[in-house]
Amino acid sequence: MSSVTLFGAAALKNVDQSTADKTLDILLEYGVNHIDVAPRYGIAEERIGPWMSGHRKDFFLATKTEQRTGRAARDQLAVSLDRLKTDCVDLIQMHALYHPDEWDTAFGEDGVLRALVDAREEGLVRYIGITGHGWTIAAMHKRSLAAFDFDSVLLPYNRVFYANPRYAEEFDDIMKLAEKRNFAVQTIKSIARGPWATKPATYNTWYEPLSDQQEIDKAVHWCLSRPGIFINTVGDVTLLPKVLDAAARYEAKPADEIMARFEQDAKLTSLFGLGT
């Protein structure tokens, strides 16, 4: 069983082993037992491996592959297993699959999906999922779910995304499917403020995150109020304790008027331009 809050291990892509070990120890303090990593996250898998060797039985371990062909995906999975110091991951996810041409390759005869199914049959992975970003990803996930019985999906969910009527409708469709078919809905970007724009990046995230504890509390609590979702934390080790602390103190959904004022005061904006 996975904790509702997941550790987004992109936070480890630029840290040394000592920092990684201390960060992973924080998960134990908060009862987080799900680690979500990917080869694309720099050296994150390599940082997790040494620590995971002593904690593997206590964690749900997920990684990803951005490869679209079967051969390349199997090669990448072998590298991930070696880096993570394990002979099996609990979840392998097709990473950032939102382009129609890549979708056709991934689901084709020699595509990544068939290779991952084979890997599952061989005991190298337990579950298969799919991830993505952008305004169209909920609709693309619906297409993927119609073609295969995935065990999980991962996509953005926050106030700005859900305020877009089309995205909200597609996201709600995903939730209805999840309830019917019992797959996990993992969400990302709960504490995204918006693009960095002209500001220099001060955190290890490609977007500007919320950093004030009260702001993070509101954003995390709003997301947690949606039954049936999981929340991926944040790609910065200094903000991780704030997100975990907010999640640990969740009691109820913030009032609509409080969230409306927060959205305005915090200047929340879209990460992907205007949704249509």
Within a domain: 186: yes
Domain assignment of residue 270, yes or no: no
Say yes or no to pLDDT of 17 above 80.
yes
Domain span at 247: 5-265
CB 188 within 8 A of CB 232: yes
* pLDDT value, residue 200: 84
Q: Note whether residue 64 is domain-resident.
A: yes
| pLDDT higher than threshold 60 for residue 276 | no
In a domain, 140, yes or no: yes
Cβ atoms of residues 119 and 92 within 8 Å? yes
* Residue with the two structure tokens 């190298």: 124
Rounded Cα–Cα distance for residues 264 and 276 (Å): 21
Cα separation of 246 and 262, whole Å?
16
Average the pLDDT over 183-194 and give the result. 97
> Which tokens is 230 given?
């999981």
Could you report the per-residue pLDDT of 139-151, keeping only the tens digit for each?
A: 999 999 999 999 9
Least confident of 5-14, 29-38, 218-227, 267-276: 267-276
What is the percent of the chain where pLDDT is above 70?
A: 99
With a cut of 60, say whether residue 202 has pLDDT above it: yes
Model confidence at 274: pLDDT above 80: no
At residue 131, the 3 state secondary structure works out as strand
Q: Mean pLDDT across the stretch 99-110?
A: 96
Question: Strand 34-36 relative to strand 5-8: parallel, antiparallel, unpaired?
Answer: parallel
Half-sphere exposure of 93 (CA within 13 A, CB side): 27
Here the CATH number for the domain that contains residue 214 is 3.20.20.100
- Using DSSP's 3-state secondary structure scheme, residue 262 falls into helix
Mean of the per-residue pLDDT values of the chain: 96
Give strand pairing partners of 18. Answer: none
SS3 category, 5: strand
CA angle 231-112-186, nearest 5°?
A: 10
pLDDT tens profile 252-273: 999 999 999 999 999 999 998 8
Give a yes or no: residue 275 inside a domain.
Answer: no
In the chain, % of residues over pLDDT 90: 96
Four-CA torsion 243, 135, 1, 126, nearest 10 degrees: -130
User: Is residue 98 in a domain?
Assistant: yes
pLDDT level of residue 197 (50, 70, 90 thresholds): confident
> What is the Cα–Cα distance from 36 to 266, expressed in whole angstroms?
28
User: Residue 271 falls within a domain, yes or no?
Assistant: no
DSSP assignments along 157-208, one per residue:
-SHHHHHSHHHHHHHHHHHHHHHHHT-EEEEE-TTEEE--TTSPP-SSSSSE
Residue range 56-64: mean pLDDT, rounded? 96
**What is the total count of domains within the chain?**
1
Asked whether residue 200 is assigned to any structural domain, the reply reads yes
